[in-house]
Amino acid sequence: MIDNATVPVINFDGETDNNVPYYEVTEQTLAPKSKVKLPISFPFQRGFPRYTPTLEYAPMGSIAGGLGESVIVDEVNYFTNEVIDDEPEMVYPGGTTAEMVARLQQAINRATEEEMGGVVRMAPGEYVLTQINLKSNVRLEIDPEVTIKMVDRALFSAGRDANNLPPKLYNIEITSTHPTKKFTIDVNNPVIFRNSIPFRVGFVENFAISNFHVEDYYSIFPSVFIVADSDTRKVENNETYNRIAVKGVVQNATNTKVATGYALVQLFSGRQVLLRDLTAQGGLTIRLEPGSGKPNDYLNRAGQNVGSITDIRMINIHNYEGMAAVFLKPHEKIIDNIWGTNITATDSAFAVMANASDSDTFTRGHFSNTRFDGVIRLDRTNDEAMADIGPSSMYFVTDSERVGKRNYGSFPDDPSGRRKHTKPMVPVLIASAMNSEEVGPFEKGRYSYDVSAADIQPSAELPLERPELVLYREDAVLVNGRSAHKWINE
């Protein structure tokens, strides 16, 4: 019984965009001698202070909603909440890295054994963590006041164990305890181009990662790396590359200082994945590119349809001061059913860009049934050269950027020192097709994608120097102004 006290009152206050109930918590002071019965149960761990929430909001739970509810877009189910836990286990910061890792990993190990799955909540504070191995039927809810400092190559890893090839994992979710606020991951690298993978997803079905911010420092690897859990054999036609992630969501995420050639999210493999409300500074926001395309790339040597990328939905994707919001390159794979809506960029080279495979090791692949609608726009806000480019995108720079330059090395370095900087070019680059009428030789991996339903817009701020909205492969020009004939036809 509570007498003459101030108690929290939880009020239903609408729903998020995903139809998830959102609750505001206010306070109500009870009059003297008034009595109410309130069940209060805050989990705690021996040796740590009893958990006292700030009561600014009620924990959100799954992005899908209640048990059995799903994230459905365009009649496709991308994630279903299969976990319910009335008594989530709290984990707290403090102590050594080994102690913090042990507390979190042990809580996850206990949660996976619960009959209806388990929820683990990370209390506010700073955590310093090595790799955490996620398990089936577990939701990790992280307070938005949490910062996690990485001290290992990977942080959260699910279904990726090439040495043992364990069974598929199911029903894994990582989210914030707030419907919109993000927790933070600091890659904690003082030197550029170190290996860092905040989230690694392998042989998993039904997963969701949401409401996070990654503070990067031009790391190697994407922040969310969706990759097959293959074995380590260096052989062709390796069927273990079919151990891929299926049915997942990555949404409401931001990433700063992404290295050119890497991304907030990259799929090497995967099927039926929703990527929504994502923003990255530098590099790429989404990179649909399986492997490297080099001779030692055994993902691509496994076959055109083994471990490929299919059924990907992208909505509200943005990039700034980078190369592009969405990048497409198939190498050997046949990549099918890709759909993007509202793809924008600011002071980047492009909003959407695609290139053909340049490999001579294997049969060149292509994208099929790939389309974009909604708004595609590239904004320019200043006259600085802040857009990332690689050697092939150099062929499409503006006329003013060619002045005084002889080759790719003449362009200023980007912050990572591994690529170059130039000014924004055009909203859409289709360097995988010769022009709007002719795709080009199929054996050379030429393909196009459909932007006929998109509202392709020039900059809404300062005008772009190039008047075109879409460029194609045959538009490639050397820095000296001559046609890049050799590259166009390679």
Distance between CA 380 and CA 344 in Å, rounded? 11
Strand partners, 479: none
Distance between CA 447 and CA 65 in Å, rounded? 40
- Long-range contacts for 149-154 (Cβ within 8 Å, ≥24 apart)? 149/186, 149/188, 150/185, 150/186, 150/187, 150/188, 150/189, 150/196, 150/198, 151/97, 151/188, 153/195, 153/196, 153/197, 154/197, 154/198, 154/200
Q: Could you tell me if 45 and 52 are in contact, meaning their C-beta atoms sit under 8 angstroms apart?
A: no
Distance between CA 219 and CA 225 in Å, rounded? 13
Q: How do 197-201 and 154-158 pair as beta strands?
A: parallel
- pLDDT recorded at residue 369: 98
pTM across the whole model: 0.88
- pLDDT recorded at residue 59: 61
CA distance from start to end of the chain: 79
Six-digit token string for 181: 């606020």
Q: Phi/psi at 132 (nearest 5 deg)?
A: -110, 125
- pLDDT recorded at residue 237: 95
Q: Could you tell me if 371 and 449 are in contact, meaning their C-beta atoms sit under 8 angstroms apart?
A: yes
Instruction: Dump strand ranges (E) for 168-221.
Output: 169-176, 183-186, 197-201, 204-215
Tell the burial category of 360 from Cβ atoms under 10 Å away from its Cβ (0-12, 13-18, 19+).
exposed
* Ranges of the chain with pLDDT below 70: 1-59
Distance between CA 299 and CA 269 in Å, rounded? 9
What residue type is 257 in one-letter code? Answer: K
Distance between CA 420 and CA 343 in Å, rounded? 23
| Rg value, the chain, Cα | 24
Q: Reduce the DSSP state of residue 395 to 3 states and report it.
A: helix
How many Cβ atoms from other residues are within 10 Å of residue 364's Cβ? 24
- pLDDT recorded at residue 52: 32
How many Cβ atoms from other residues are within 10 Å of residue 246's Cβ? 17
- pLDDT recorded at residue 417: 85
Q: Could you tell me if 254 and 325 are in contact, meaning their C-beta atoms sit under 8 angstroms apart?
A: no
- CA 233 vs CA 162, 202, 237, 292: distances in Å: 10, 17, 11, 17
What is the chain's length? 490
Q: pLDDT, tens digit, for every residue of 309-367?
A: 999 999 999 999 999 999 999 999 999 999 999 999 999 999 999 999 998 888 999 99
- pLDDT recorded at residue 67: 96
